[in-house]
Structures are given as structure tokens and as C-alpha cells.
Amino acid sequence: MSLPEWLNGDDKDGDVPFSAAEILERCDILATHSSRVGAIERSYLTAEHARTNWTVGEWMAQAGLEPWQDAAGNQRGTLAGPRDDSPVLLLGSHLDTVPGAGRYDGILGTLMAIAVVGRLEAKGVRLPFGIEVLGFADEEGTRFGRTLLGSCAVAGAWQDSWWELRDAQGISLRTAFEAFGLDPARIEEAALPRERVLGYLEAHIEQGPLLEDADRALGVVTGIMGARRFDLTMVGEAGHAGGMPYGRRRDALLGASEVVTVIETLARDHGAIGTVGRMQAYPGAANVIPGRAEFSLDLRAETDELRDRVWDLIQEQAAKVAAARNLDFQAVERHDAEATVVGERLAEAIRAGIAATGDTAPLELLSKAGHDAMAIASLTDYAMLFIRCGGGISHHKDESVIEADVALALDAFEAAVLDLARTF
Ligand code: GLV
Ligand code: MN
Ligand code: MN
């Protein structure tokens, strides 16, 4: 298929189709599908999302996949198996980004999945199963607060209550669906029938420094930490920044700030991870005591029990902070994803894939970052291949990977698929 030149990149190096160089060039192209000039931001059900699906659909077709957009806005590509009812192996990652993102989180894994199919097709390999490549539409949850919307739809785990989630502009998820050209009444059509699915493999940058510290290009994931996210609010009373004496103030921002440090202390002491990534004071003027402070909490741990215990302790301490300052503390849960572990057979395939690249005892890593695999785990087993990223930096414009690592990762991912085919 001949594509417009811009869609193929400038091809200055005469990239081999489905090579690491081509994938990296395509990551650069998708980085331009952004709502902000000079920064990457691509959230769910936006014009950038639509452009990305179209572009990725063209690349899917080039690789021999039948491209289509599902009822949740995920970009999918199907490679038929030998029979109409052949089981399907799922490969993929996500195409949305956080604000101020890098160009590889999710994108690299999706493009690698497409490239693996393209490579197998080019070699004339006939697999005993079908493949579906998934470019998930909303892993980050940036727009509506609830993460993994795209993969939950595919897993058949969509919840009706989500239709009333609202973005920062007050637009409901239902309205955003309709504006994107999707029909909320058809959401169930995105779900895959459990009995058809063989498993799910995802390649992703590590988003941490462990591979780099160990001088390894690739690693095998053992499981993914569970996460909960909350909208937290401290309510006090606004007042004059000069006239109101300290003893009578009900400064909501001071209360919220104390809770932020409580979160860090409790999470660190108990081996969990708590992050406050957003805080806003109201009414927001230099000479007004903040009467309200709104802030977020992202809380993760290796087990759900530990994460939930730390949340109980945070709530207890926050209530004490609020009482001491005559404030009201409120918490609304926005997101909850269980900790999961990989499927052993699929992880074995990833290990075999990495071994085929020369590392016969790959580093095993627990993913502290969330992934679509967490949602897909309710549908089928999953396994993940991690790729070293520079300095462990992610969710930042300086996210980086080395082309040689991506080349190794491609070989390993392809070998993992072939390992599954051999014992199918
Ligand atoms: C997704 O990147 C997450 O871990 O929040
Ligand atoms: Mn991310
Ligand atoms: Mn990601």
C-alpha cells in the first residue's frame, strides 16, 4: 500500500519495514498528534485521538491487519486465524498520553505489536491462531479520572455509572462519546468473547530505572501493582490575608499540605507509593486565605491489602489534621484497579523470547506503573515485556529509548509469539 509521505516519515535512513528505526520514526509522527503545541497531550475522545486512530489504522493495514475502530474508540487490527473460530492472541498497548508526555509510553508497545505481525506476515509465517492488535484509547484516565476505560470495554467490564463521569469542562463521558461519533448503546460490542481469547501480551517501556541500573535491555514482568485514585478536598473558610488572626483561620491549603506530607510518610513507612499530582486552592488569590483545597491521591502497593491498609491510615491522619485546624476533610474515590500477577505460560513465552535474544536469565520486575493488562486480566491471562528507558524517566517529555533496545525487544516479542505458536 502506498501511503502519503508524511505518514511514512521522511524515511531518511531508508528504514526497513517493521524495523526499530521505523517504529521510532512513527513514535515521532504520533507525537505531533497533540492538543498542545510543543508538548504531547492526547486524551480520550479528542480530535488527536481520532487522528491517531486513523494513522495507526493505516499502519495496521500495511502490516496485513484488518483495521477497525471499536465501540469504545480503541483502534484494533485483526489478523484472521486458520479457521473462523480460531482462538485469538491479543497484542497491544495504549495510544493516549498524560499531559506533557513522552513519545513512547504505550505508543511503543502498540507499534511493536503491529510490527511483529508485519514481520511474521512478511516471512509468510502461518500461525495456528488469529491475532488482534489493540491500540487502547484510554489507559491514562487523564480526561475523565477513571483509568483503563478502553481496556475495560474490551474486557467486558464497562460500568454504566461511568457514563456520567465528567471532564474538567463538565462534559460527560456519554456526550464525549456521541461527539466522537460513537454510540454509547453499543459499548458492549467492544467486548471480546472470553472463550475465543488465548491471552494478552504487552510490550512497554519500564518507566523506572531498574533495567538501566542492571545494565539490561529487556525484562519480564511478574505482576502489576494495584492502584486507587481519590479526589481529596479540605474545606475551611476564606478570609482576609491580613486581617484574620492566625488563631481564627480555617486555612484549607495548610490542612491539605499537611496531608500531603502525611501521605508520603505513611506510604514510605509501609512500602506503598502515594503521589499527590494535583492541588488547587480556592478562591486562588494572593490576599485571600484559601477556603478550599482540592488535591488528588494516587496510591499503589504490591498487594491490595497493603494499599487499602495505608489508605485507612491516611484517612485517619487526615481526619486528625482537619480536626486540629477546624476543617472538613472529604474523599471521593475515582479509580480502583486490583493488583494482578502474570499468567505463567505467557510469562514463560516472554522469557523464551528474551532468551532468544541472548539473555537467558532475564530480570524479573514488578510493574509499579499501571497498564491495560490490568483490565485485560479479568478477561484472560497476560504477560509483559519491559524495555529499558533512559534514566527511568517517563510521564515526561524526556522519555527515551535506544534503537538497539527496541530492535532486541522486537526480536523478543516476535519470538514470544512463535514460542506460544509452537506449543499451541
Ligand atoms: C499509567 O501510566 C499509570 O501507571 O498511572
Ligand atoms: Mn502512562
Ligand atoms: Mn503506559
Asked if 55 contacts 47 with a C-beta cutoff of 8 angstroms, the reply is no
Q: Are 152 and 35 contained in the same domain?
A: yes
Instruction: Classify residue 206 as left (phi > 0), alpha (psi -120 to 50) or beta.
Output: alpha
* Strand partners for 335: 229
Distance 2 CA to ligand 1 centre (A): 36
CA distance 178 to 184: 7
Q: Are 313 and 177 contained in the same domain?
A: no
Q: Ligand 1: which residue has its CA nearest to atom 1?
A: 370
User: pLDDT of 226-244, one tens digit each?
Assistant: 999 999 999 999 999 999 9
Ligand 1 binding pocket includes 273 (Cβ within 6 Å): no
Of residues 255, 329, 326, 242, the one with CA closest to residue 288: 242
CATH number for the domain spanning 15: value is: 3.40.630.10
Q: Are 249 and 297 contained in the same domain?
A: yes
Q: Are 221 and 343 contained in the same domain?
A: yes
User: pLDDT of 180-200, one tens digit each?
Assistant: 999 999 999 999 999 999 999
User: pLDDT of 115-169, one tens digit each?
Assistant: 999 999 999 999 999 999 999 999 999 999 899 999 999 999 999 999 999 999 9
User: pLDDT of 305-314, one tens digit each?
Assistant: 999 999 999 9
CATH number for the domain spanning 302: value is: 3.30.70.360
Q: Are 198 and 112 contained in the same domain?
A: yes
Asked if 192 contacts 326 with a C-beta cutoff of 8 angstroms, the reply is no
Ligand 1 binding pocket includes 370 (Cβ within 6 Å): yes
**Hey, which of 136, 142, 147 would you mutate to test ligand 1's pocket, going by the most ligand atoms within 8 Å of its Cβ?**
147
Q: Ligand 1: which residue has its CA nearest to atom 3?
A: 370
Q: Are 15 and 116 contained in the same domain?
A: yes
Question: Tell me, what amino acid is at 89?
Answer: L
Q: Which of 337, 352, 379 is the last residue of a domain?
A: 337
Asked if 10 contacts 94 with a C-beta cutoff of 8 angstroms, the reply is no
Distance 292 CA to ligand 3 centre (A): 32
Q: Are 306 and 350 contained in the same domain?
A: no
**Hey, which of 42, 105, 140, 366 would you mutate to test ligand 1's pocket, going by the most ligand atoms within 8 Å of its Cβ?**
140
C-alpha cell at 309: 491498609
Q: Which of 337, 362, 392 is the last residue of a domain?
A: 337
Asked if 317 contacts 262 with a C-beta cutoff of 8 angstroms, the reply is yes
- pLDDT on residue 14: 59
Please tell me the number of the ligand nearest to residue 107's CA. 3
* 146-182 core/surface letters (b: 16 or more CB in 10 A; e: else): bbbbbbbbbbeebeeebeebebeeeebbeebbeebeb
Total domains in the chain come to: 2
Domain with 267 in it = 226-337
Ligand 1 binding pocket includes 148 (Cβ within 6 Å): no
Q: Are 272 and 345 contained in the same domain?
A: no
